[in-house]
Amino acid sequence: MAGVSRTRHNQRSIPHAPEVHTSAFPMHLSASRANDFLTCPLLFRYRAIDRLPEVPSAAALRGTLVHRALEVLFGLPTADRTPDAAADALAGAWAELAADEPVSAAVLLAELGLPSGEVATSGEIELARLSAEVSDRILEPARPLLDAYFAMEDPTRFQAHAMEMAFDVPIHDTFSIRGFVDRVDIAPTGQVRIIDYKTGKAPSAGFEAKAMFQMRFYALAWWRMTGQIPHQLRLMYLGSQESLTYVPEEADLVATERKVLALREAIAASAESGVFAAKASRLCDWCSYRDLCPAWGAISPPMPALPVQAPPITGRPMDAPPAAGLPDRANLDDPEHD
C-alpha cells in the first residue's frame, strides 16, 4: 500500500491556548464549516446562516453508502467482518437510503439515466420497483472502494472503540467544537488512533497540511475531552488506496485551538458587519451557489437573521451515549461523507 506519512517527535508541554473575547455567534463550529469559511466566507454564510438547500452529488452519496457499510461491518463479530459481509452491508445501506431519503436516491437513479422525478416528488421509493439489476448498477462504483478498504487493513484483527461518534466539546466559555469521527481505535497499550475514511484520492504533495486540519480538529476535541493526545491520526483514501498519517504534538493541538478561535472571531466579525465576501477559486466549479455569487455576476440575497444556536453541550467521553440535545448527523452542521 502506498502511503504518505509524517512523524513528529520531542513532545513538550505547551500552555493552554489563551482565552479570547468572542461574541455570541457562532456558538459552535465543525471542521467542515471552518473549512468553508477558509475556502469562501460567502459559502459559509449560505450553508451556516442562510442554510440554503443543496442536492448532494452522486459521488458524495456513494461516500455515505460506503461509510454506512463500514459502520455496519464493525458492528459484526470480529470473525464475520468479511468482504461478503461488507457487500451485504453496502446493499443494505442503499436499501435504507432508497426508503428514507428519496431525493438522494433519485440522484443516484438519475446518474444511471433512470426516471427519478416521481421518486423525488412522491416522498418514498417502493423497493420492489428497484430490480436487482438497478441496485447492482447503483452499487457498482462503490464496490471497488470497499475492496480498497480490505486491501488497506484487516478488520478482523482489531475492535474499534467507536464508530460514527458525535462530539460537542467546549473550548471557550461560550463556544464549542463539534462533529463526527468516523472511527476511534484504542490499543491494549492505551494508545488512541483517530481514523477518517475518504472515498476520493489522496491529496498531492503540498496539500497534506490542509487535509490534516480536519484530523487535528478531531484530535483537539479528543484531547479536550479526555486529556489524552491521540497517538496517531490517519486519513484512509479509498479512492487511491493510500493513507496519510500524522503523530500530533501538544503544540499542534494548541495551535489548532488558536486557529479555530481566530476563525470564530473572523466569522463573528463578518456576522456583525453582514459582509461575507466571495472568494473565487477553482472550487467554484463544484459550488452549488454560483448563481447566487457576486464573483460570478449574481446578486447575493439579503442575509437573514442569525440562526438561534443551542449553547455548548458539556464534552462527553466518546464511548458514552449521546448527550441529551446533541444533534445527529442529519441536523449537525457537518458535511456529507466524501
Taking CA 245 as the corner, what is the angle to CA 258 and CA 80, rounded to the nearest 5 degrees?
Answer: 120
Pick the residue with more confidence: 109 or 148? 148
Residue 277: is its pLDDT beyond 60? yes
Residue 325: is its pLDDT beyond 70? no
Average pLDDT over residues 44-53: 96
What is the pLDDT confidence band of residue 316, given thresholds at 50, 70 and 90? Answer: very low
Task: Supply φ then ψ for residue 57, to 5 degrees.
Answer: -80, 160
Phi-psi region of 28 (alpha: psi -120 to 50; beta: other; left: phi over 0): beta
Task: Please give the pLDDT value at position 174.
Answer: 86
Is the Cβ–Cβ distance between 307 and 65 less than 8 Å?
A: no
Half-sphere exposure of 180 (CA within 13 A, CB side): 18
Residue 14: is its pLDDT beyond 50? no
The structural domains of the chain, with segments of one domain joined by +, span 2-8+26-43+160-280, 58-156
Residue 8: is its pLDDT beyond 50? no
Share of the chain above pLDDT 90, in %: 69
DSSP assignments along 261-322, one per residue: HHHHHHHHHHHHHT-------GGGGG-TTGGG-GGGT--PPPP-PPPP-PPPPPP--TTSPP
Average pLDDT over residues 99-122: 74
Which pTM was predicted? 0.83
What is the pLDDT confidence band of residue 220, given thresholds at 50, 70 and 90? Answer: very high
Euclidean distance between CA atoms 245 and 232, whole angstroms: 7
Average pLDDT over residues 186-210: 91
What is the pLDDT confidence band of residue 318, given thresholds at 50, 70 and 90? Answer: very low
Task: Please give the pLDDT value at position 246.
Answer: 95
Euclidean distance between CA atoms 261 and 190, whole angstroms: 30
